[in-house]
Amino acid sequence: MGKLLDNLFGQKINKARVFPVTLKIIIVFTLFILVSNLSSNYINLIYNRTELIGLMRNLLTKDLKDANTFCNNQYEIFQYTKDLNEAVAGIENKGVRDFTKKKSVLLGVKPDGTLLFQGTKIKKAEKFADAQALKQMADNQVRTIQEGFINFRYNNEDYFGAYKHNANWSVYIVRAEELNEFYEESRNIFIRISVIILLVTLISAVVGIFLLRFILRYIPIITSGIMKMVSNQQLELIDLSKAPNDDITYLGVAFNSLSNTINNLVNIFRKFTSRDIAIKAYKERDVRLEGNQRDLAILFTDIKSFTFITETLGADIIKLLNLHYDQAIREIMRLDGVIGSIIGDALLAVFGVFEESTENKSLQAVTSAYKVQEVAESLRARMHERKEQIMKEKGALSRSESRVFKAVLLEVGVGIDGGNVFYGTIGSYERMTNTVIGDNVNAASRLEGLTRIYKVPVICSDYVRKDIVDNVSSHGIRFVELDQVMVKGKTTAKKVYWPLIESTITPAMEKNLENYSAGLKAYYNGDWKKAYLLFKKCSLPLAEEFVERTKTFKSPKNWNGVWEMKTK
C-alpha cells in the first residue's frame, strides 16, 4: 500500500512527501477542465434553452402544418360519411401517434372555448379554460392573423404552442408542449453531461492529452470529411488508407459502406422516378402527396402492331422494348422531358416542368417526337443489317425468322397536345407515383391514334402549333394541316397538324403538300370531286385516307368539314 502511494503521490523525504510535477499538472489541468467544462455546460444550457424555444417553434409549426392538412382530409371524409365521432377520433389518434412526450397535446378549440377534439395521452379537459389565450387568438383572427404562437394553461399546467385557424372545422388547431416537461429533458441532459464531463476529464488527465490526441487523430479527419460532404451535398468516401485498426477506423469504414449504399439507392431512386421529383426530394428531404395546375406539353408514343409483336416474340418483347426505350427516353430527358409513365408499348412524357428551363416546351416535345422516330428508324436499320448477315450465311430466312424480322421492325406513332393539366404526386404515403391528369393527356393519346389513319409519324394539336409559332422565332417547323376531326367521345372538332422539319422537305414533297392543301380546302368546302382529283395527285401516304373518303365525289348531307371518328 505504501509503495502504491509512493508511486502515485511521490516518496516521502524527511517526513515530507514530494509530489511529482506530473501529478500537479494533471490535478491543475483536471480542475481547470472540470471548472471550464461545467461552467461552459451551464452557460450552454442557458443559451440552449433559448435555442430550444426556437427549435420547438419550428417543430410545433411543422407538426401543426401536418395536423392542419390531416384535419382538412378528415373534414372531407366527414363530408362523405357524416360521422363526426369517427372524424374526431381519427384526428386525435393521429395527434397521439406523433407525440414524443407524455403531456403533448393537439387541441381543436372552438371560439366559445369548447373543444372539438383533444389529442393527448393525459386526462382530457372539459373545455379550454384560458380565456385570455382564447381572446388573443380571436383578436388575431379579427386582424386576419390566422396563426401564431401562444402561451396558455391546460389542465392547470403551463403550455407553449402554435395555433392555426381551420376554416373547415371553424376551430383553432393548437399543437403544444407542457413547459416543465419540455425543460425536464434539458435539465437531465445537463446532469448527465456534467457527470460525463467529470469522468472523461479524469480519464483523459490520467491517460494524457497527447496520447488521446494521437489515438483519436482520425476523428478530425472523419469529421472534416463529413462536414465537406454536408457542404457539397454529396456523399463521398473518406480516405482511411493509413488509419490504425481500431473502432474509430471501423466507424469510418462503416460510414463509407453506408455512403456507398445510399449512393446506390439514390441512383436507383432516380431511375424509378422523374428528375424533377428527385431534385425536389433531395432539397426538401421529403416527397409529399401534392400537385398543382401546370401549363405543359404532353407527348404520347405508342408502338404499332404491338399485339402481333408480342405474340411473335413472347418474353423477348422485353428485350426489344428496352432497346427502344433506352435510347428514346435518353433523348426525351435530354430535352428536359419528364417521363410520366411507361405502360408496355405506350410512353407518356411531359415538357415544361422545369421552371428554370428557357426552352419552349412545345418545340421540345416536337423535337423529342422526331428523336423518338430516329431511334425507331435506327433500330430498324440494325435489324435490316442483321437480316442481310443471316441471308449471306443461310441464303434466305425461314418462315419463323421472317415473322420475327417483321415483328422487330418497330414503328412508333406520336401524338402531342398541351394545355392546363394537373401535375403532381398521387397515391398514399406507402406507395405513390408521379402523374399528369387532364383532358389534354387523353387528347395526346387520341392524336397518336390518328397517326395510323393519316399515315404520318407525328400529329399535334393547334395548341402546340400556336405555342411554337407565336413564341419561337426560326423554329424550323412546317405545320401541315391534316384535317378537322371530332374524336370519339368529344362534341367539338379540332384541327390536327403534321409538324414537319422544314429541312427535310424536298421540292417533290413541296409539290405534293401543295396538292394536299388545295385538296383539303376543296374537301372542307364540300367539292369532293375536285378534292378527289387533287388528293390523287398527292403521292404522300396521308392523302390515301382522303382519296377513299372522296371517291364518291359527293359530300355527306349538312357537311361542315368535320370528320367524326367512330373509334378511338
pLDDT of residue 18: 42
Q: Are strands 477-486 and 494-501 parallel, antiparallel or unpaired?
A: antiparallel
For residues 109 and 492, give the distance between their C-alpha atoms in angstroms, rounded to a whole number. Answer: 51
Cell (9 digits) for 293 = 395546375
Residues 6+ apart with CB under 8 A from 466: none
pTM over 0.85, yes/no = no
For every residue of 110-129, DSSP letters joined together read -TTS-EEEEEESSPPPSS--
CB atoms within 10 A of CB 333: 15
The per-residue pLDDT string of the chain (568 residues; one tens digit each, 9 = 90 and over) reads 555 555 455 445 445 444 444 455 456 566 666 666 667 666 766 666 676 677 777 888 888 898 899 999 989 888 888 898 898 899 889 888 888 888 899 999 999 999 999 989 888 888 998 999 999 999 998 898 999 999 999 988 999 999 999 989 999 999 998 888 877 777 777 677 777 777 766 666 666 656 655 666 666 676 667 666 655 556 677 777 777 766 667 777 777 777 777 666 556 555 555 555 555 555 545 555 556 788 999 999 999 988 888 888 888 888 888 888 889 999 998 998 988 888 888 999 999 888 777 899 999 999 999 999 999 999 988 888 888 888 887 777 878 878 888 888 889 999 999 999 888 766 656 665 677 888 888 899 999 999 999 999 999 999 999 999 999 998 999 999 999 998 776 778 899 999 999 999 999 999 999 999 999 999 999 999 999 999 999 999 999 999 999 998 998 888 988 988 776 5
| In the block, residue with C-alpha cell 501529478 | 23
Say if CB 197 and CB 34 are below 8 A apart.
Answer: yes
Say if CB 332 and CB 371 are below 8 A apart.
Answer: yes
| In the block, residue with C-alpha cell 510535477 | 21
- Per the DSSP assignment, residues forming a β-bridge with 300 are 348, 415
Residue 404 identity: V
For residues 232 and 259, give the distance between their C-alpha atoms in angstroms, rounded to a whole number. Answer: 14
- What Cα–Cα distance (Å) separates residue 368 from each residue in 103, 130, 217, 330? 58, 63, 55, 10
pLDDT tens per residue, range 453-501:
999 999 999 999 999 999 999 899 999 999 999 877 677 889 999 999 9
Say if CB 135 and CB 144 are below 8 A apart.
Answer: no
Say if CB 339 and CB 332 are below 8 A apart.
Answer: yes
pLDDT of residue 268: 56
Cell (9 digits) for 475 = 423554329
Say if CB 410 and CB 379 are below 8 A apart.
Answer: yes
Could you give phi then psi for residue 121, rounded to 5 degrees?
-95, -5
Cell (9 digits) for 172 = 383553432
pLDDT of residue 232: 59
| In the block, residue with C-alpha cell 392523302 | 543
Could you give phi then psi for residue 254, rounded to 5 degrees?
-65, -40
Cell (9 digits) for 1 = 500500500
- Per the DSSP assignment, residues forming a β-bridge with 347 are 301, 342
For residues 350 and 362, give the distance between their C-alpha atoms in angstroms, rounded to a whole number. Answer: 10
pLDDT of residue 207: 62
Say if CB 363 and CB 473 are below 8 A apart.
Answer: no
| In the block, residue with C-alpha cell 397518336 | 448
For residues 536 and 544, give the distance between their C-alpha atoms in angstroms, rounded to a whole number. Answer: 8
Q: Are strands 16-17 and 12-13 parallel, antiparallel or unpaired?
A: antiparallel
Could you give phi then psi for residue 260, rounded to 5 degrees?
-65, -40
pLDDT tens per residue, range 79-113:
888 898 898 899 889 888 888 888 899 999 999 99
* Sign of the dihedral defined by the CA atoms of residues 159, 98, 96, 77, in that order: positive
Q: Let me know the angle formed at the C-alpha of 335 by 329 and 341, rounded to the nearest 5 degrees.
A: 40
- What Cα–Cα distance (Å) separates residue 305 from each residue in 199, 380, 398, 408? 78, 15, 21, 11
For residues 77 and 65, give the distance between their C-alpha atoms in angstroms, rounded to a whole number. Answer: 19
Residues 6+ apart with CB under 8 A from 47: none
Say if CB 181 and CB 2 are below 8 A apart.
Answer: no
pLDDT of residue 45: 61
Report CA 402 to chain centroid distance, whole Å: 45
Nearest to 277 by CA among 294, 290, 260, 295: 290
CB atoms within 10 A of CB 492: 7
